[in-house]
Structure 1
Amino acid sequence: MYAGGGSGGVARALSDVSISPIEGQSGWLVRNALADRLGAGRQNGGSRYRLDIRLDDRVEGLGQLSNDTITRERRTLRARYQLVDVQSGAVLVDATAGSDAGFDVVNSEYAVIAAEQTALENLSHEVADQIVTRISVQLRDAE
């Protein structure tokens, strides 16, 4: 899959994937992480493939004290994605990727917001890695 490095067949195919806009902050983070990994925009012509993604981003309370105070939360980021051949309209990959992270809820509201944001940033990178790996395998097999 990595034969030829940045000029190999898979690397060239990955740089020929355009990423559709994704809604929300989590969408912005995932889209940027994907663009970094795919090398999107390196080619000047029209893209051969299009990546469509829908995200589900949730935060739920887990630990609870006797006074109904939540002490632990879990953030889950799931992506349903499709790799579409632009010329034929065929769906080459239709799959999901996802990950979750837990963090403590403390007395400082700032610390909780920072923990939620850090979790989202880390999850965005993990989901992007999963998507790129799956697409790379598909494009390698297509060669």
Structure 2
Amino acid sequence: MRRLFPLFLLLGGCGLHPLYGGGPSSAAGRLLATVSVDPIDGQAGWLVRHSLIDRLGSASRTSAEYRLEVELDDQIVGLGINDQNTVTRERRTLRARYRLVDTSRAGVVVVDATAGADAGIDVTSSDYSTLAAEQKTLENVSDEIADQIVARLALYARRAG
């Protein structure tokens, strides 16, 4: 421990700062608390929207300072084919284009970005297990998309605030 002490002194000068340093009173915390999430089409949209609401702590705020608009593209593509010409592996890809709109500045878009996630799915002889795997994969990639979006919004808040 004694030999590591000088290394701890160097960490303070490296320029790294916690994104959520200060908790709810940080720039990221303040911005994220003022974001409303527009409805998103489809089952994937419902999952992503509710994941975002969970992470932002926002419900359907009507007087929010920012509005988050999200468009999704959800695809499942068969990858592996066995000797009976049957798909044995699928890849689920979820892509999101999102915009953070500042409602107090006449709808100026302050963040316009994309997020993406994908995962592989084993296709079995049981339709039920394959469908369950596809559903669970959709839930997982929806959470990953929401994490990416919230991290990007927090980064914007840190830079802007």
**Change beyond 3 A, Cα 1:100–1:90:** same
Query: Does structure 1 conserve the Cα–Cα contact (< 8 Å) formed by 2:36 and 2:62?
Result: no
CA RMSD of aligned residues (A): 1.5
Question: Cα deviations across residues 54-83 of structure 1 (Å, max 9, x unaligned)?
Answer: 000000100001221000001000000000
Structure 1 runs (4+) deviating above 6 angstroms are: none
Deviation at 1:95?
0.6
Deviation at 1:41?
3.5
Number of paired residues? 142
Tell me how far apart the structure 1 counterparts of residues 142 and 149 of structure 2 sit (CA, whole Å): 11
Counterpart of 1:65 (choices 64, 82, 92) is 82
Tell me how far apart the structure 1 counterparts of residues 84 and 150 of structure 2 sit (CA, whole Å): 44
Tell me how far apart the structure 1 counterparts of residues 40 and 28 of structure 2 sit (CA, whole Å): 24
Tell me how far apart the structure 1 counterparts of residues 27 and 93 of structure 2 sit (CA, whole Å): 34
Counterpart of 1:26 (choices 44, 53, 62) is 44
Q: Does 1:9 align with 2:19?
A: no
Structure 1: any 5+ residue segments left out of the alignment?
A: none
Query: Does structure 2 conserve the Cα–Cα contact (< 8 Å) formed by 1:15 and 1:41?
Result: no
Aligned-partner SS, 1:87: helix
TM (normalized to structure 2)?
Answer: 0.84
TM (normalized to structure 1)?
Answer: 0.94
Task: Please show how residues 81-96 of structure 1 align to structure 2 within 5 Å.
Answer: 81-88=98-105, 89-96=107-114
Q: Does 1:47 align with 2:64?
A: yes
